[in-house]
Amino acid sequence: GRREGRGARDKGGRSAKGTQMMEGVVQVVAGEMHTLALTAAGEVWSWGDNQMQQCARSLDQPVLLTPGRVPLPLAEGEVVVQIAAGGYHGIALTSKGRVFTMGAGSSLMEEGEYDGGRD
């Protein structure tokens, strides 16, 4: 759903549009300047510094200010069950025992391997 915060002293005025947020967060991890969240549905969301593609959502944006779903190449019925993060990388463990790495030292964002969800 969308979330919007309004303070008790708000006098009206312009309101920012709500941001699409993840639902049912079960785990949150942080690297040097990026964050990953895992939902109960087994989805990974990311935001923050992306200079080494540690958010795994864009090849050309160095900073991702809003959370977005990481489009991992999962098999039918496969979900992420656990996540971890380090300084400039992220790791996702799936229900089928596969491990995906994002960011420094990773091949997930290399040409031909993963395109950040682009067609």
CB under 8 A, 24+ apart: contacts of 33-37: 34/85, 34/88, 34/90, 34/103, 35/85, 36/70, 36/83, 36/85, 36/90, 36/92, 37/67, 37/83
pLDDT tens profile 63-88: 999 999 999 999 999 999 999 999 99
* Assigned fold of 20-103: Thrombin, subunit H (2.40.10)
Residue range 3-24, pLDDT digits in tens = 444 445 555 544 444 456 789 9
Query: The whole model's pTM is what?
Result: 0.75
**Mean residue pLDDT across the chain:** 81
- Domain spans in the chain, listed from the N-terminal domain onward: 20-103
Percentage of the residues of the chain whose pLDDT score is greater than 70: 72
